[in-house]
């Protein structure tokens, strides 16, 4: 069998129910995972290096603070906390900056990849075409993400208030979390696909998601859970290795500040964790891409009408 044959196109503009959305997601992922991973690594190179630097600063600062805490001399303690605290603080600030940049880039890459796939009716496109779409929409994308930060801050405040309500508050927090995920994801696809401004995108995304409220939440819950399991599976081997090393450090009272090895090991481990988390967020955007096409088609029936018009034209 010839493995070079073009893979069949998975139609995205289809009004799908809950189960069909989940099935389509895995079909799309299986077909596109290799090509998208190549795209992800190609355009995230500088940010992957940035995550490595952030991991080093955070790990070095954390190890230094722990080691300083074990010193008995008051002056030595203050000196250690001051110097390593700067590492930790610098790492935290740099992490926030890179996190925002990575969010902008990878929200864009995942969405533009899926939109290009739908427009080309398959995988007959290269990564430069996806990148060209990202650059073309970069201005509105940055505006979208800046407003998204405010939305998440409001969500954090609301979640804090819900902590006052026992049991019900916990369930309400999860519902809000998955609703926000669906709303933001669908809105972003509408922003890029339909060439709308940020406000129009959020309004339309709200309308689409609220019309199928429980489907939108359910899809994000189930596939978010499955993506989380995938994250754990990918990290299980490095997690076990780091766990054994940590046990060795604790059991043998190893002075982690006296050797470069613990810093290297924990830096690499943290960097791998952050990279996998970022990639998992891209997969979540694919979830909301399929949800967007399903909700949009259910509301407007554009693809169905187009097919009816085509059939009518052939009969004439």
Confidence label for 77 from pLDDT (cuts 50, 70 and 90): very low
Q: How far apart are CA 153 and CA 96, in angstroms?
A: 14
Q: Residues in the chain, how many? A: 316
Residue 8 lies in a domain: no
User: How many Cβ atoms are within 10 Å of 32's Cβ, its own excluded?
Assistant: 18
Is 315 within a domain? Answer: no
**CB-based contact 224:175 (threshold 8 Å):** no
Q: Which of 283, 149, 291 is nearest to 209 (CA)?
A: 291
5 within some domain: no
Nearest in space to 57 (alpha carbons), one of 213, 281, 263 = 263
Position 143 in a domain: yes
pLDDT band at 282 (very low <50, low <70, confident <90, very high): confident
Structural domain contains residue 311 = no
63 Cβ contact list (under 8 Å, min separation 6): 84, 256, 257, 262, 263, 266
- The backbone torsions φ and ψ at residue 125, rounded to the nearest 5 degrees and listed phi first, read -150, 160
Q: If pLDDT is split at 50, 70 and 90, which confidence band does 74 have?
A: very low
SS3 content of the chain, % helix, strand, coil (to 5): 85, 0, 15
* Pair 285, 185: CB distance under 8 Å: yes
Determine the pLDDT at residue 233: 85
The DSSP secondary-structure symbol of 123 reads S
Res 116: pLDDT:
95
Local structure of residue 256 (DSSP, 8 states): G
pLDDT in tens, 32-72: 999 999 998 888 888 888 888 888 888 877 777 676 655 44
Contact 207, 314 (CB under 8 A): no
| Residue 175 belongs to some domain of the structure | yes
Q: Is the pTM of this model over 0.95?
A: no
Q: What is the percent of the chain with per-residue pLDDT over 90, rounded to a whole number?
A: 34
Domain count, the chain: 1
For the chain, the distance separating the N- and C-terminal CA atoms, rounded to the nearest angstrom, is 41
Share the mean pLDDT of the chain: 82
Which token pair is 98? Answer: 């890179």
* Cα separation values, 69 from 61, 77, 257, Å: 12, 6, 12
Phi, psi angle pair for 5, to nearest 5°: -65, 145
Distance of CA 255 to the CA centre of its chain: 36
pLDDT digits (tens, 9 = 90+) for 247-268: 777 777 766 666 777 778 888 8
Alpha helices of 70-212 — where are they, by DSSP H? 74-119, 127-136, 138-162, 168-193, 198-211
In-domain check, residue 2 = no
Range of 222's domain?
Answer: 18-306
- Gyration radius (Cα) of the chain, Å: 23
C-alpha–C-alpha distance, residues 185 and 289, integer Å: 7
Mean pLDDT of 211-222: 93
In a domain, 230, yes or no: yes
- How do residues 103-145 score in pLDDT, each as one tens digit? 788 878 999 999 999 999 999 899 999 999 999 988 898 899 8
Return the structure tokens found at 243.
């766990």
% of the chain with per-residue pLDDT over 70: 85
Confidence (pLDDT) at 265: 84
For 251, counting Cβ atoms within 10 Å of its Cβ (0-12 exposed, 13-18 middle, 19+ buried), the class is: exposed
């Amino acid at each position: 069998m010839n493995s070079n044959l073009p893979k069949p196109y998975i139609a995205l503009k289809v009004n799908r129910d809950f189960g069909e959305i989940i099935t389509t997601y895995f079909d799309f992922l299986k077909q596109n995972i290799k090509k998208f991973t190549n795209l992800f690594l190609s355009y995230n190179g500088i940010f992957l290096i940035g995550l490595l630097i952030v991991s080093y600063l955070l790990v070095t600062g954390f190890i230094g603070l722990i080691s300083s805490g074990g010193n008995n001399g008051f002056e030595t303690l203050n000196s250690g906390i001051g110097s390593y605290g700067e590492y930790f603080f610098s790492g935290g600030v740099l992490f926030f900056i890179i996190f925002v940049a990575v969010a902008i880039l990878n929200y864009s890459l995942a969405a533009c990849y899926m939109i290009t796939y739908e427009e080309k009716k398959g995988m007959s496109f290269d990564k430069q075409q996806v990148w060209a779409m990202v650059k073309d929409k970069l201005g509105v994308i940055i505006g979208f993400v800046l407003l998204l930060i405010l939305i998440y801050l409001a969500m954090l405040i609301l979640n804090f208030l819900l902590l006052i309500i026992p049991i019900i508050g916990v369930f309400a927090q999860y519902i809000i979390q998955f609703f926000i995920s669906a709303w933001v994801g669908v809105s972003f696809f509408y922003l890029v696909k339909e060439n709308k401004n940020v406000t129009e995108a959020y309004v339309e995304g709200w309308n689409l998601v609220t019309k199928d409220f429980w489907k939108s939440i359910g899809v994000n819950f189930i596939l978010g859970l499955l993506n989380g399991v995938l994250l754990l599976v990918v990290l299980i081997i490095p997690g076990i290795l780091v766990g054994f090393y940590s046990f060795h450090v604790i059991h043998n009272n190893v002075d982690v500040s006296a050797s470069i090895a613990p810093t290297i090991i924990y830096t690499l481990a943290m960097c791998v964790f952050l990279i996998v988390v970022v990639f998992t967020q891209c997969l979540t955007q694919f979830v909301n891409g399929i949800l967007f096409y399903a909700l949009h088609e259910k509301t407007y029936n554009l693809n169905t009408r187009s097919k009816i018009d085509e059939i009518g034209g052939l009969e004439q």
